[in-house]
Structure 1
Amino acid sequence: MQRQRRPRASHQHRSGPFLLVLFLSAVVAADDAAPAGTPAIVDTVCAATQAADPEAFDVSFVTTLEMIYQNVTRWSFGAAGSGEGNDTVFGLGQCMGYLSPTDCQLCYAQSRVKLPHCLPADGGRIYLDGCFLRYGADNFTAAATDASDTAVCSNATAAASAPPVVGTGFAAAAAALVRNVTAAAPAAKDYYYAASASGRAPPAYAAAQCWRSLNASACATCVASARDRLLRNCLPAAPEGYGLNAGCVVRYSTRPFYLPASAGGGGGSSARRIAVIVVASVLSAMAVMGIAFIWTRMRSRSRDDLLRADMGDDGSSGEMIRAIAASQLSFKYQELRAATDEFSQTNKLGQGGYGSVYRGVLADGREVAVKRLFFNTRQWAEQFFNEVKLVSQVQHKNLVKLLGCSVEGPESLLVYEYLCNTSLDHYLFDAFKKNALDWERRFEIVLGTAEGLSYLHSASEVRIIHRDIKASNVLLDDRFRPKIADFGLARNFMDDQSHLSTGLAGTFGYMAPEYIVHGQLTEKADIYSYGVLVLEIVTGRKSHNSVASSAEGLSLMALIWRHYTAGTLTELLDPNLREQCSEEDALRVFHVGLLCAQASPNLRPPMWKVVEMLSGRDHKAVALPRPTQPPFINVKGSSGKSDSSGGSASNSDKSPFSLNQLSVSGVQAR
C-alpha cells in the first residue's frame, strides 16, 4: 500500500462559542471544508493496485459502507462485504471505546467522506482521532497485522505555547502504561483498556483497542506488535504516539484523550455533538443562555457595526444582508414572532436539518410557514443565503413559494406559503393517515414532483440541483398537490458545466452512489433520489433504514428488485391501493422508479423524459427500457453473530456484525 501522509490537525480545542446568530457569521464556509471540532486524520493508507473495474467496484464500495453505517450507529462497530468476483468489497469500521455514540457517528461520518479519496485503489484505510475505517477487495477482517502497520509520533500538545518537557520520567511512565494497557486489552470488554499515571508533570495517558472482528489471541498479537513499534519509534522523545496496526490501535499522550471533555478540560466533544446532531436540544438551557448573551451584545452595537462584522473578505455576506433588508422579501422579526404566538409548540409544524417550522398568521390574515434557524454556524449561513437567493428566482406550481425572510432579530427566519397538509412523510408512513393518499393523489404527487424537478433542471432561469429530495421535503397543499421545499442544500450551475465538485450533503438512503463516492454533483443525483421516493410512494414503505424493520431482512430496493426479476412487483403495492388502480398503471410507476434509481447515472432518464413517461400523449403505449439493478440490493440484516477469525468467539461478539454478500452486476457507477 502507498501511505498518504496528511498534516495532523492540532489537538488544541477551540473555545469560541457555537451558538452564533446567523448574520454574525463571517465568511461562508467552503462546501468541502471540515467544520470545527471534527476529528483529526492521523494517517491514511491507499493500496498501490487499482480495481479491475472501478465503476462496478464503486457500487460495491458504497453498499459496503452503507451496511457498516447501520451497525456503527448502533454498536460502534461494523463489518460487511458486498459484490461478487473482482467487484467484491469488504469493509470494517470501529470507534474507540472512549467515544460517545454521538462522537462515534461524527467520526465515522468524517472517515466515510475522506476514505473515497483512495478510489480507484482496490483498498484503503484511514485512522482518525477516535475511529478507524477500511475497505479492500480481500476479506481482511481477521487480520491483526500486515505490511502497512506503522507508528505516528506527534508533538501536538494540549498547551498553546511550548510543548511540555518530556524527560526520562515521562518516557518511563508512558512506556509502563503502554505495556499495561496492551497486556489488559485482549481480556477487556470489547478489547478496550485505558489507564493513566498522573503523579508527575506532564502526566501520562494510554489506551489500547482491538477491532471486534478479532479473537483474543489475534488481539494480543496485534497490540504487542503496536506496543513494540511505539516503544521503538516514539519513546522517549515524542509526547504523543500512535501504534497503527491492521487490527488495533495503541496510543499514549500527555493529554487525557480518552476522558470526556468535562473531565479532560477540552471543549472538542461538545463541539462535535453540536456539529453532528443539530436538533438534539433546541430548547436546552445552554442554547437559551448563549442566545441571550449574544442578543445582549448585539443590542449594544449599531446596525453599521453588525453589517461590517458580517462581511467576509469579499463582503458577500454583508451585501446579501443589505439587499434582503432593502427588498420586499424583508419581514420584521417581531411581526413573525407575534404571528407564530411566540413560536409556540402548538404552532410547530415540524423540524428539519437546521431549523424548526411554525404556522403563523400575519396581521393581514395570511397564513404562513416560518422556518426558524435557532442554532447557526458559518456553514448554515451559506444554506440560509443560498435558499433565499435560489428560491426567490424560481416560480413553479410544484415548488413551494418563498415569501421572504428576517435577518434583523436574534435569529434568522424564512417565510414560506403555508401548506395545510404539511409534508408527504406525515401521511405516507403513518398507518392511519396514509388512507388519505389514494392512487389518484399518489400519482399526482409522483407526476407533480417530477414536473417540479424538470423545471429546476432544465426550464428555470438558473439550473438548479436540489440535493435533498425525500418525502419530508415534498409538501402538500389542501388538495394534496405536491410542492418541493427546503432548498438549503440546493446548488445552481452553468449550462456549460458538466458537474459540480462539492462536499457531501443530503440524506443517506436517497443519495446517488456516484455522488457519495466522488462528490461530483449533477442533476442525476436528484433523479436517483426521485426514483427512491417514487418507490416509497407506491409501496408505502420507507427506504432508509428499511433493513432492520423488514420482515424479509432486505432493504426496500433489494426487495423491489427481487420481485421485479420474479415478475411479482404488484405484491409490493401498498395494500391500500390494491383496488384503486390497474395493474398496468402500478407497474408503470414501479418501472419509472427503477429507471430513475439505477446505479449508472448515464442510464437514468432526464426529468423531462420522466414527465413524458408518466403523462405524455399515448405514454402507456410506449415501451419503457429495461432497468438495471439499483446499487443497494440483497443487504441482509445483521443480527447474527460471526467469528470471522476462525477462532472461538469472545465477549466482543456481543456487538454483532455481518459479512453479508451482495450480488451486483457490472453496471456503471458514474
Structure 2
Amino acid sequence: MASTFTHFYGVPFFFFFFFFSVSLSDPRISQSGSICGTLKPPPSSRFIPTFIEEMEAISELLTTRSWTTHFVNSTPPMFALSQCFNDLSHTDCLLCYAASRTSLPRCLPAISARIFLDGCFLRYDNYSFYKESTDSVRDSVNCTSELGEIDQSERLVFGENVRVVVETVTTKAMEKGGFGMGEVSGMFGLAQCWGSVEPEGCRACLEKAKRSIGSCLPSKEGRAMNAGCYLRYSTVKFYNDKDEDRDHDGFSGRRAVVTIALASAASLIIFFSAVFACYTRISKFKKEKKRQSLIPVSLKDSDLNFKYETLEKATNYFNLSNKIGQGGAGSVYKGTLPNGQIVAVKRLVFHTRQWVDEFFNEVNLIRGIQHKNLVALLGCSIEGPESLLVYEFVSNGSLDHFIFVGTAEGLAHLHEGCKIRIIHRDIKSSNVLLDENFNPKIADFGLARHFGADQSHLSTGIAGTLRNSSFTENSTPLLQTVWDLYKTERLTEAIDTSLNKDYPAKEAMDILQIGLLCTQALASLRPSMATIVKLLTSDVERKVGIPEQPPFLNPCGTSKRSCRISSLVSHAVSKLEVSSCTSTDSVATSPGSYRINHNLFAFVKIPRKRLLLLLHSAIKVSVFSLKFELWFD
C-alpha cells in the first residue's frame, strides 16, 4: 500500500520541492537510512487516520522548535518524534521534515518505522521510545565509496584525521546540549543527540557511534545512525555554519509562504494517497474474498490445498526454463517442493466464469480417481492471483511415438472401471504422458464430462484442438484411403514403407481392421474400450470382426463440391439427414450429430520408427467408439 502513494505522488512532490529548495537553501533531504517494522496493526484499527493525525500534530509543533514529540492514544497507540539537526535554519527544518514525512509512508502499514535524512530524523512506534539511546538490533552505519589508490602512510593520516574530528564533534555534543560540528585538517564532522534523550543517554549513544563509525574507514564518508543520536564525517563540508541562513525572527515573507505551501501540499498528498491506497486495498480484498467464496470450505481446509507462494518458489516463479507443456487451459511447469518432491504445476487461464467450471471439473473428477495409467492430482492452489493444479511429475514427457496399450487401459477404466463414468473427449498424444518406466498416464481432464449411467444421449460441441478435428486432410481423406485398400484386399499398402516390412503383416492388418470397426455407424458394431484392450493385448489369434463401410465417405473426391453423400451413408445413420458436402473440410449434419474425425489413420504414409506406433490408430478411433455411443442410438 505504501508503494502506491510513493509511486503515485512522491515524484511530482519531490520535483516541486526540489525546485524551491534550490533557490532557498539546503535542507539536506538525502536519505541516509530507514527501518520499517515487521508488525502490522489489527484489520479493524484506524491506523492510517491515526498516522495522518500524528504527522499533522508534529508539523504544527515544529513551527516553534527544532524537535518535538507527540502521542496519540489509539489502538495500537502511536508515539512519534521528529528531530532537526541544529545547524539547519527554521525553514530548512520544516522542509526536511516535509521530505521525511513524505518518505515514511513507504513503511505503512507497519506499526513502527524510522527514517534518517542528512538534515533530520523522524520516527513513530507503538511504545514510548523517547529516552532510548541505543538499539542493539537496529542501530546501523552507512559508508560511502573508499578513497582511491593511496599509500599506507596516507591511509594512516586519513584515519587519524577521521578519529580526531569524530572525537571533537562528539565531545562538543556531550558538553553543549547534544550538538556539535567542526573541521579538522580538511575533515568535517557533525554529531546530534535527540532532544528527548537524557545527557547520560546521549553520551552512551555517541560513544557507541564513535566505535561503529570507525568500521567505515577508509571510506570518504561515514554515518552512524543510532536510536538516540546521529554521527557523520565527510571529506567535504556538508553542514551549515551556525549563524548562516537562519531566520531568527521565525517565518517571514516569501520563504514563509513557500514553506507553508510545501507543508500543506505534503499533508494533502499523504491524506489523499492514504485514502486511495486504502480504497484500492479494500477493493482488492473484497474481490479476492468474492472469488474465494466460490471455493468450498472443505477444499480450502483439505490437504489438497497448496500455498500459492510455495508453488511459485517451487517453479522458480514460473521461469520459462521450467516450462514443460502448454495446453488450451494453461501452461505446465516443473517444480520442486520444499520436501524435495518433483511435481508438475498447471497454471490455469480462465475467462469470465469459465474458470469455476474448468477448475472444479479437474479437481472434483481427478482427486477421487486412482489408476496406474492416470496422472495423479496431488492438490491445487486457490488463494493466489491465479488458480494452480499440482500433478505428479511424469518424467518422460508426452506420448508421441510410444506404446498405446496403457492408454487404452486408462480409457477403459474411465469408461467402465470408475464409480462415475468419465468421458475424456480430448484424447491425443500430447495428453498422454510417460513415467520413468515409460508407462503411459492419461492427463488433462479439463474437457472431461461426467456421463451418468441413466443417460443415453449427450449434446455437446466439438471438443479438443480444432486442428485435430478437421474433416479431411488436404488430399484424399485418410479414412477413405484405408477403406479403399481394405475393400481391394491391399490393406498392407496403408502401412508406412519406412518400417521396411519389419513387422508381422497379419498383426498390422488386424490393428487397421480394429480401427475400421471403431468407425462404424451403429454403436452395436463398434467394440468397447475393454474389448479393444483385449484385442490389443491378446497373445492368441485375434477374432476381429468384419467392418462395414464407415459413414461420411465422399465418393466424389476432394476436388468436387455439392455432391450427394446419402448413397454412401449406411441406413443406420440416414436419419441424420445429411444434406451435402459444402467444402472439402466440413459436412452439414442435423442437430445432435457429430463429425467423424478422418485423422483416425494419421499414421498412414507418415514416417514411424516402431511397429507399435500402429496402435496410435486404434487408440484414436476408440475415442470415436465412445463418441458414437453418445450421439447415435
TM-score range, shorter chain: 0.3 to 0.5
- Tell me the TM-score normalised to structure 2 length: 0.43
- Tell me the TM-score normalised to structure 1 length: 0.41
Highest CA radius of gyration, 1 or 2? 2
Greater RCO structure (CA 8 Å; 6+ sep): 1
